[in-house]
Amino acid sequence: MTGDAQDLIDRRRLRRRLSFWRVAAIVAAAVAVLGVAAALHYPNGFEVRDHIARVSIEGLITEDRDLLDLLHDLKDDDRVKAVILRVDSPGGTTVGGETIYEAARELAAAKPVATEVGTLAASAGYMIAVAADHVVAHRTSIVGSIGVLFQYVDASQLLGKIGVDVNAIKSAPLKAEPSPFAPAPEAAKAMIQRLVMDTYGWFVALVAERRNMSEDQVRLLADGSIFTGQQGLQNKLIDAIGDEAEVRRWLEQDRGVATGLDIVDRKPADEEHFSLFASARSLAFHALGLDPEAKTLSEALLGAPRLDGLVSLWQLPH
């Protein structure tokens, strides 16, 4: 019995030592992988060097505070000699487009800024694209959709069919109009139309200023139509057909940016830190044969409890 107890104590000590070295190995691997990930993310290493920053603006446009902070930081970063906005967006909110446009214009006042359009830059996406001083798109990219949209739902007939009445007491007839619970009154439609046309006029004037066109010329294109990159070039909505090579040519030849600078992806701080940490964690766990999906350290070291076949008992792996 004494021997069995001693064996049990020895096994526990061994397990504790093994756990310690596993933790130490995870920390060492994480540090190493973070170094590799950082080296890949910053190809010039940790030495401060000049570069061209590439900022991707993708998906639905919203008032993105992290992106706005990034654009502000790039403006004050002496290592950044120029910025490429890579836009691939169908549009989004007018306030989102306006705030990012203004931040990009402040950036362009400090250093050269060019836009490379991916698949599309439409509506608020196009608004942001023209904040740059040179807009490049592929021949089959989609640009335009200059206009403003306000949508609302009238579910009154549906509610009537299921026997639901929604009543309201309002301080004025236009309060909370249009409402999804009743057809919009004409006064509410007129109010929304005024709102839409005011924003539309601002959008048209913005494009006219940035593309060196008259407002009448822009209004001919600003009926919500979209255009290919080739059509956009013919209509003066973009400056050139091409890709990043054309952007680099313009930066170097027309704006005097030093030749051969690396183009480095710059992302909002939270996204960069999360991406590096997640990559390091996953690679380190795989390298050590641990479960990258583990939620706790004990799960990573010992494995998560599992249901073994048809045995209805939770047990640790052997």
Active site amino acids: 123, 175
Closest CA to 152 of 195, 126, 183, 122: 183
Closest CA to 52 of 262, 269, 272: 262
Give the three-state DSSP class for 80. Answer: strand
Q: How far apart are CA 254 and CA 264, in angstroms?
A: 21
- Cα 186 to Cα 44, 128, 174, 215, 270, distances in angstroms: 62, 34, 10, 29, 46
Q: Give the tokens for residue 286.
A: 């795989």
Closest CA to 211 of 199, 222, 200, 225: 222
Q: How far apart are CA 99 and CA 63, in angstroms?
A: 7
Residues with Cβ < 8 Å from 280, sequence gap 6 or more?
30, 33, 34, 37
